[in-house]
Every structure is written in C-alpha cells, then in structure tokens.
Amino acid sequence: MSDFIHVFEPGHAPALLLLHGTGGDEHDLLPLGRRLAPGAALLSPRGKVLEQGMPRFFRRLAEGVFDEDDLRRRTDELAGFVTEARGRYGIPAPVAVGFSNGANIAAALLLRHPGLLGGAALIRAMMPFAEPPVADLSGTPVLLLSGSQDPIVPAANSAALAGLLQADGAAVTHHELPVGHGLSGMDMALAGKWLQALSPNR
C-alpha cells in the first residue's frame, strides 16, 4: 500500500475521498464527510508536503502560485494511492470532497487522471495548471463552490476552472457564494444536496 498516512471508514456508496486544506490532516474532514453523506465509505489521506510544519498535498512558491512540477508528481502519487485503496478496501471510484489545497489537487486529479474519480466537490479551488492537459471528463459530475469575498481565489480564476472542466465534458454545477475562503454552512448544504442527488437511493 502507498505510504500515505490515511484513515478509512467502511460504508456504502458513494465512497468519499476527503482532501484537507493547508494545515489539516487525515482527521480534518471526517466530520464533514459523515455529515455530507451519512454512512458512506470515507477515505482520507494526509498530504505529504510540509509548509512551516503544516501538511499540504503539494508545494507552492507563494500564495496562489503553485510549484507545478511538484503538483504533477504529487497528483500522480495520489492517483496511485487511490487506485491501491480501491483494491484494498473494495470501494468504487470515489467522489472527491476537497477544500482549498485539497480541492486544487482534486481538480488536478480530474485533469491528469480522468475516470479515477466518480466526481468531485471542489470547495475554493483554483486552476491547478497554467497549461492544463486535455482530459475526457464526459459526464463526470463536478460541484464547484467559490466565494465572492475570497481573498485567495479570484472570481475569474474559479470561473475559468468551471469553464475548463465543462469544456472537457464534465457536468459542472458552479455556485459563487457571498463568503470568504473558509467553509460555510452554505457549502455544507449545497454539497450535501449535490451528493444526495448522485445516489438518491442510499
């Protein structure tokens, strides 16, 4: 098994891949996952990069400026972990729920490894690549939740990411909320409703 420190909680479909923000860990989004999809299988890895002691999934050169070589390498490494975890735990293609740094690597997973994820809820995500790869995301459901008062992610950047994923064939739902960068009750309500629509019979 890959050397990602992680937590797995068995449960029914959909399986959620929980990807924390900067400074979080493998326990950070478990309460969110349980709330969004009660009883669902949860797979929650810890990012391996440390920035001033805070875990992240990939390096950045400055706020909003990514080390894209590291991002590509870390994205491929995380994709390998997800593939191994599916075999080990017997889960379907997971739906990523990512916040901030976790949302950014989830977007990178969509673009570099189409078909790996069953969908993705991206909370405060940015465009991960200056020159994104072409990906066939036909029918992949994606929820993008951005904040109109977010000081880190410009509205134009979120809109560009939504447009890119849509152009690649993803079924994108984009909400721009009157909030900043942090998680809000609106995020939880919209993400829970979106996840419920993916598996209405659970």
Least confident piece of the model among 6-10, 33-37, 61-65: 61-65
Smallest Cα–Cα separation from 117: which of 102, 100, 132, 101?
102
Question: Residue 55 is part of a domain; what is its CATH number?
Answer: 3.40.50.1820
In a domain, 193, yes or no: yes
Predicted confidence at residue 2, as pLDDT, reads 61
User: Has residue 167 got a pLDDT over 90?
Assistant: yes
100 is catalytic: yes
Tell me the three state secondary structure of residue 136: coil
Active-site residue among 44, 100, 146, 158? 100
Predicted confidence at residue 202, as pLDDT, reads 46
Confidence of residue 200 (pLDDT cuts 50, 70, 90): low
Distance CA 9, CA 147 (A): 30
Distance CA 133, CA 128 (A): 10
Give me the mean pLDDT over the 153-169 stretch.
Answer: 96
| Segment 151-154 long-range contacts (CB within 8 Å, at least 24 positions apart) | 151/180, 151/181, 152/63, 152/64, 152/100, 152/124, 152/126, 152/181, 153/64, 153/124, 153/125, 153/126, 153/181
- Residue 119 exposure: Cα atoms within 13 Å on the Cβ side: 21
In a domain, 156, yes or no: yes
Predicted confidence at residue 1, as pLDDT, reads 47
Domain that holds residue 58: 6-198
Least confident piece of the model among 5-9, 10-14, 168-172: 10-14
Predicted confidence at residue 194, as pLDDT, reads 97
Active-site residue among 44, 113, 150, 168? 150
Give me the mean pLDDT over the 96-106 stretch.
Answer: 98
In a domain, 94, yes or no: yes
User: Has residue 7 got a pLDDT over 60?
Assistant: yes
Provide, rounded to the nearest whole percent, the portion of the chain with pLDDT above 70: 98
Q: Determine contact, residues 6/39, Cβ cutoff 8 Å.
A: no
Domain tally, the chain: 1
In a domain, 1, yes or no: no
Q: What is the mean pLDDT of the chain?
A: 95
Confidence of residue 117 (pLDDT cuts 50, 70, 90): very high
Joined together, the tokens standing for residue 72 give: 């590509």
End-to-end CA distance of the chain: 29
Confidence of residue 13 (pLDDT cuts 50, 70, 90): confident
Q: Determine contact, residues 83/4, Cβ cutoff 8 Å.
A: no
Give me the mean pLDDT over the 90-103 stretch.
Answer: 97
Distance CA 18, CA 15 (A): 10
6 is catalytic: no
Q: Which residue has the tokens 């950070």?
A: 28
138 is catalytic: no
- CB-based burial label for 148 (10 Å; 0-12, 13-18, 19+): exposed
